Amino acid sequence: MDIASVVKAIATFSWLAAIGVIVLAVVRASRARPMKNAGVLVVGMIVVAILLTLVGAGLVFLQPEERGIVISPYDPQGYRTESLGPGLHWIIPGETVTLYPISRQTYTMSAAASEGNVAGDDSIRARTKDGQEVFIDASVIYAIDPTNIIQLHITWQGRYQDELVRPLARGIIRDMASQYGVEEIVSTERVELEDKITVELTTKLGENSLTLVDFVLRDIHFSEEYAAAVEQKQIAEQLALQAQFIVQQKKQEAEQARQVAQGVADAVVIQAKGDAEARVIQATAEAEAMTLIAQVLKDNPNLLTYQYILKLSPNVKVIILPNGSQFILPQELISQ
């Protein structure tokens, strides 16, 4: 409890005590038992109560988060040109003080009934540049500019929140939303939209003795019809992606099969080339062998007969030939 409240409480107690003394004096007097010096005591207590009441009426204590505007009938303008800061102040009896909070205040507009400053659905209804209807939830965090608090009082008094912050924010949000398409608002351009609203609100509130602390774009939602259309579009896109994936998978499988077939074909070709080369080598070798044999036989004609004899079975002792058949061996060999 501040000292001004203490003084006012003491003044109230003094008045009650003076009334109590008066009642007691009247009761004792009615019973023929008057109080000694009752009049002096009553007068003294009334004087003290009056003094305390005057002092209490002139004392004003402001909390650290408060500023006061002194409305004065003694000033030609009707108010003091300097606002009161935190602490204890003395005002002339007859003057009054209007208090304003300079701490941060939040004004929320939301579709959820329990979140906004106004009960029920208080989201901002706006139209995008492509004609779609969107509903925006937002919060404006602001504070009174202490240096311009007197001007705020002159212009708006205590109506600044309902008659300035609310309509100003809703109007700016609608204007900015109309500059974007619906898909831009919910995806690529949402941050830019929020930044533009912040800049415009800062300027407009500053012109009216308020300071924007922050603007929060809480949520963006759509009509049921558009939400259903978006859902159908997303389903179609997912199906298209799935079909594209299947096609890609089939292409990969076909490519793998082609590569396997190509590998088999290459292996067959390599095998065929190997076989062909082997045959060429074999034929070449056979030809060269035949050439050598022919050359040897040419130089040694009896070699063939000799090889023939070697091929006969070693167990053959007698050879029977038909009548008139010539000897197998040449006569020269037999005679030898």
Statement to judge: residues 69 and 164 lie in one domain: no
Statement to judge: residues 202 and 153 lie in one domain: yes
pLDDT mean over 145-169: 94
For residue 168, give its domain range. 105-222
Statement to judge: residues 123 and 26 lie in one domain: no
* Chain segment 273-296, per-residue pLDDT in tens: 888 788 888 888 878 878 877 777
Statement to judge: residues 258 and 293 lie in one domain: yes
Q: Whole-model pTM?
A: 0.59
Using CA atoms, how far residue 82 sits from 57, 65, 239, 285, in Å, is: 20, 17, 69, 123
Q: What is the pLDDT of residue 235?
A: 59
Which residues in the chain belong to E strands, given as ranges? 59-62, 66-71, 87-90, 96-101, 105-109, 124-127, 133-144, 210-222
Statement to judge: residues 118 and 18 lie in one domain: no
Instruction: Count CB atoms within 10 A of the CB of residue 70.
Output: 20
Tell which of 190, 206, 222 closes a domain: 222
CA distance 71 to 53: 20
Q: Taking Cα atoms as reference points, which of 136, 110, 138 lies closest to residue 221? A: 136
Q: What is the pLDDT of residue 185?
A: 86
Per-residue confidence band for 7, with pLDDT thresholds at 50, 70 and 90: low
pLDDT mean over 158-162: 93
Statement to judge: residues 130 and 211 lie in one domain: yes
Q: How many domains does the chain have?
A: 3
pLDDT, greater one: 167 or 318: 167
pLDDT at 218 over 80: yes
Question: How far, in whole angstroms, is CA 180 from its chain's centroid?
Answer: 19
Per-residue confidence band for 27, with pLDDT thresholds at 50, 70 and 90: confident
Statement to judge: residues 230 and 282 lie in one domain: yes
Torsion sign (Cα): 114, 117, 122, 125 = negative
Statement to judge: residues 162 and 62 lie in one domain: no
Statement to judge: residues 118 and 38 lie in one domain: no
pLDDT mean over 63-86: 91
Tell which of 189, 222, 255 closes a domain: 222
Percent of the chain topping pLDDT 90: 30
- Number of Cα atoms under 13 Å in the Cβ half of residue 13: 6
pLDDT at 327 over 60: no
* Chain segment 220-249, per-residue pLDDT in tens: 888 776 766 665 666 566 667 777 877 788
pLDDT at 121 over 80: yes
Q: What is the pLDDT of residue 155?
A: 93
Q: What CATH number is given to the structural domain containing 188?
A: 3.30.479.30
Q: What is the pLDDT of residue 187?
A: 80
pLDDT, greater one: 261 or 141: 141
Nearest-5° Cα angle at 326, 322 to 328: 100
Statement to judge: residues 195 and 169 lie in one domain: yes
Tell which of 181, 198, 222 closes a domain: 222
Statement to judge: residues 133 and 61 lie in one domain: no
pLDDT, greater one: 171 or 36: 171
Nearest-5° Cα angle at 66, 61 to 69: 80
Statement to judge: residues 129 and 203 lie in one domain: yes
